C-alpha cells in the first residue's frame, strides 16, 4: 500500500514544480545574482543563500534517513542549522541552489521505493516515524519557498510561472485502511498549531500588534494583515464546497495572484485575527466530517486535477505553511527595523 507515500509525492511535486497554490520552489531558485543571494536583503533576516542552504541541509538529513544511510556526520552540525541558518561551510550561490536541487532529487528517488508500512517505522533516536520526516520536507520546503517568494517581490523580480505548471491528474487510489483523513488532520494540526519544525500560525497571531499588522517594508510586498486575509479567504473558498455550499459569490479574482493590496473591506486587526482562527476551525470541522471515500469524490470546483477533496486539503495545508514563512520573515524584519 502506497496511499500516504503517493500523496506525499504529489505534495513534494506541488511545492517544487506546480503553480496553483504557490510559486514553486524550482522557479524561486532562479533569478538571483550571486551578489543578491549571498547578502541579507533586509536588516534582521537571513540571506537567500542561508535560507536555501538551511533547507538543503535538512533535505539531506531526510534523504539519508529514507535511503537507510548513515547521517552521523550531519548530526554533529544540527546546532548550526536551526532557525533558518546553515553551517558556514555550505556552498555560496549558485552552488547552494544546485546542492538543494540535488538533495531534493535524492528525496524523491528514495521515496518512490517506500510503502506506507516503511513510512510507519520509527527513526532511531527520534520521537517520530519516517512518515513525518518525509512529509516534513514538503512543509519545510514550502515554508521557505514562501520566504523566497517574498524576497523576490521585495527586489521587484517577476516570478509568475507558465500556466502549463498545473499538476497532472491524480494517480492516488482510495484505500480506507490507509486512514488518509486521520493523517491529513494530524498534518493540519502539526502545521497550524506548532507541532512540527516551524513557527505555528495560531500562537503567532496574538503576538502581532496592529502596527506590525499594517507595516509594509516596501511597496512591492503585502502587509501581515493582507497575507492573513488572503489565507483566510482561500480557506473559506475550500471549506464551503466541502460542506456542500457554494463559493461562487466570493471575489476570487481579488486574491487569485497572491494577497490583495489595500482592500477597502479589510476588517480591523483584532477582528481579522478572530475570523482567521474561526475559519480554520470551520475548515478542520469540514474535513473531520468527511468519510474516507469523500476524499476521492470530485467536487468540480476548479481545475480537474484539484477537484478531489484530499488534494484541496493538502493544498490548503501547503498554502498556510507557504504564507507562514512570509509572516515570520515580516516579523523578523519589523523587529529589526
- The pTM is what? 0.94
Nearest to 3 by CA among 235, 241, 293: 293
Tens digits of residue pLDDT in 114-151: 999 999 999 988 888 999 999 999 999 999 999 999 99
Q: Does residue 12 sit in helix, strand or coil? A: helix
Which pLDDT belongs to residue 171?
77
Nearest to 84 by CA among 46, 29, 119: 46
Percentage of the chain beyond pLDDT 70 is 96
Q: Which residues of 282-297 are buried (b: 16+ CB within 10 A; e: fewer)?
A: bbbebbeebebebbbe
Mean pLDDT of 176-182: 84
Residue that wins the pLDDT comparison between 301 and 327: 327
Q: Is the peptide bond before 136 cis (omega within 30 degrees of 0)?
A: no
Which pLDDT belongs to residue 198?
67
Q: Specify the range with the lowest mean pLDDT, choosing from 3-7, 35-39, 291-295, 333-337.
A: 333-337
Q: Specify the range with the lowest mean pLDDT, choosing from 108-117, 137-146, 157-166, 318-327.
A: 157-166
Which pLDDT belongs to residue 20?
82
Nearest to 231 by CA among 259, 207, 208, 257: 259
Instruction: Delineate the domains of the chain, giving CATH numbers in brackets.
Output: 3-336 (1.20.120.450)
153 contact partners, CB below 8 Å, separation of at least 6: 159, 218, 220, 221
Per DSSP, the chain holds a count of helices (H) and strands (E) of: 15, 0
Residue 122 dihedral angles phi and psi, to the nearest 5°: -70, 150
Q: What is the mean pLDDT of the chain?
A: 90
Amino acid at each position: 500500500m502506497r496511499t500516504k507515500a503517493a500523496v506525499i509525492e504529489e505534495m513534494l511535486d506541488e511545492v517544487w514544480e506546480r503553480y496553483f497554490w504557490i510559486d514553486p520552489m524550482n522557479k524561486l531558485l532562479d533569478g538571483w545574482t550571486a551578489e543578491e543571494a549571498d547578502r541579507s536583503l533586509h536588516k534582521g533576516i537571513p540571506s537567500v543563500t542561508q535560507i536555501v542552504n538551511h533547507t538543503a541541509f535538512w533535505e539531506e538529513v531526510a534523504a539519508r534517513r529514507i535511503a537507510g544511510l548513515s547521517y552521523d556526520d550531519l548530526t554533529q552540525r544540527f546546532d548550526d542549522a536551526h532557525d533558518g541558518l546553515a553551517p558556514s561551510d555550505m556552498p555560496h550561490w549558485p552552488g547552494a541552489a544546485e546542492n538543494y536541487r540535488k538533495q531534493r532529487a535524492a528525496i524523491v528517488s528514495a521515496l518512490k521505493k517506500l510503502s506506507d508500512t516503511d513510512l510507519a517505522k520509527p527513526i532511531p533516536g527520534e520521537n517520530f516515524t519516517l512518515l513525518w520526516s518525509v512529509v516534513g520536507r514538503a512543509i519545510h520546503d514550502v515554508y521557505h519557498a514562501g520566504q523566497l517568494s517574498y524576497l523576490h517581490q521585495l527586489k521587484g523580480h517577476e516570478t509568475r510561472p507558465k500556466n502549463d505548471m498545473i499538476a497532472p491528474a491524480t494517480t492516488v487510489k482510495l484505500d480506507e485502511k490507509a486512514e488518509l483523513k486521520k493523517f491529513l488532520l494530524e498534518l493540519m494540526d502539526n502545521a497550524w498549531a506548532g507541532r512540527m519544525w516551524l513557527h505555528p500560525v495560531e500562537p503567532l497571531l496574538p503576538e502581532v500588534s496592529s502596527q506590525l499588522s499594517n507595516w509594509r517594508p516596501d511597496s512591492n510586498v503585502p502587509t501581515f494583515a493582507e497575507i492573513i486575509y488572503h489565507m483566510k479567504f482561500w480557506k473559506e473558498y475550500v471549506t464551503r464546497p466541502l460542506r456542500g455550499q457554494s463559493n461562487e459569490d466570493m471575489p476570487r479574482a481579488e486574491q487569485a495572484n497572491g494577497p490583495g493590496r489595500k482592500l477597502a473591506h479589510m476588517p480591523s486587526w483584532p477582528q481579522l485575527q478572530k475570523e482567521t482562527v474561526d475559519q480554520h476551525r470551520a475548515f478542520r470541522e469540514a474535513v473531520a466530517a468527511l468519510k474516507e471515500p469523500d476524499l476521492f469524490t470530485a467536487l468540480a470546483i476548479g481545475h480537474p486535477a484539484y477537484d478531489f477533496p484530499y488534494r484541496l486539503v493538502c493544498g490548503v495545508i501547503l498554502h498556510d505553511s507557504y504564507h507562514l514563512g512570509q509572516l515570520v520573515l515580516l516579523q523578523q524584519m519589523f523587529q529589526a527595523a
